[in-house]
């Protein structure tokens, strides 16, 4: 049963990622991204990283995706720019992909994955995280708010300038 569930999650993730990569229509790619995000959220939850899964679900599947779809919708003449760039530089791509394969292979063949964790307790991380955020890590927690404030004001200022130059 467990293997079945994991397979479903992985098939959804990789399948929609393939649609994102190979679809000729950019809008289909943007919408297929939701499957990838949901699959990654499922993977996080399966790995007992409940909070990460929740963030993935709320921020990525809920927020970032809307942003990406808006960006696609905002782009003018999208039909002409929907295919991947035929003039892509293969001389640069091939070494990069090889490097990536090597890196992922190196990570996959490490011996940490063979450790047996079935005896360990599986507590939801979110409770411990809440306790830590309000006690030991209170200052970073409030600093997150300041960082978000800076991001919001920065986004407003930059988009304002863009509108100005357009008109």
Partner 1 sequence: MLFSYSNVLVFAAVGIAFILVTLSIGALIRPYAPSLNKLSSYECGEEPVGSAWMNFNIRFYIIALIFVIFDVEVAFMFPVVRIFKEWILEGRGVVALLEILVFVLILLVGFIYVWKKGDLNWVKKI
Give the residues lining the site for partner 1 (CB under 8 A).
Answer: 1-2, 5, 8, 42, 45-46, 48, 51, 54-55, 58-59, 62-64, 66-67, 70-71, 73-74, 76, 78-79, 118, 122, 126-127, 129-131, 133-134, 138, 141-142, 144-146, 148-149, 151-153, 155-156, 159-160, 162-164, 166-167
The neighbour count for residue 49, using CB atoms within 10 Å, is 17
167: Cα within 13 Å, side-chain hemisphere: 5
Burial of 133 (0-12, 13-18, 19+ CB in 10 A): middle
* Closer residue to partner 1, CB minimum distance, 92 or 117: 117
* Closer residue to partner 1, CB minimum distance, 92 or 157: 157
* Closer residue to partner 1, CB minimum distance, 95 or 124: 124
Q: The tokens 């399948």 sit on which residue?
A: 15
Cα–Cα distance, 99 to 153 (Å, whole number): 38
Q: How far is the CB of 117 from partner 1 (least distance, A)?
A: 8
Give the angle subtended at the CA of 34 by the CAs of 33 and 40, to the nearest 5°.
90
- Enter the tokens of residue 17: 């990622």
Q: How far is the CB of 16 from partner 1 (least distance, A)?
A: 14
Q: How far is the CB of 109 from partner 1 (least distance, A)?
A: 23
């Amino acid at each position: 049963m467990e293997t079945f569930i994991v397979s479903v999650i992985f098939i959804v993730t990789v399948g929609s990622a393939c649609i994102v990569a190979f679809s000729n229509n950019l809008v289909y790619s943007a919408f297929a991204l939701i499957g990838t995000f949901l699959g990654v959220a499922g993977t996080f939850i399966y790995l007992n990283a409940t909070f990460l899964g929740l963030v993935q679900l709320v921020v990525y599947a809920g927020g970032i995706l809307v942003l990406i779809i808006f960006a696609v919708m905002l782009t003018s003449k999208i039909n002409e720019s929907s295919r991947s760039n035929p003039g892509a530089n293969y001389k640069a791509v091939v070494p990069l992909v090889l490097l990536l394969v090597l890196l992922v292979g190196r990570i996959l063949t490490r011996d940490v994955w063979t450790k047996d964790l079935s005896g360990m307790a599986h507590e939801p991380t979110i409770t411990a995280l809440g306790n830590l955020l309000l006690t030991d890590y209170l200052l970073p927690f409030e600093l997150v708010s300041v960082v978000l404030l800076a991001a919001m004001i920065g986004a407003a200022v930059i988009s304002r300038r863009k509108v100005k130059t357009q008109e």
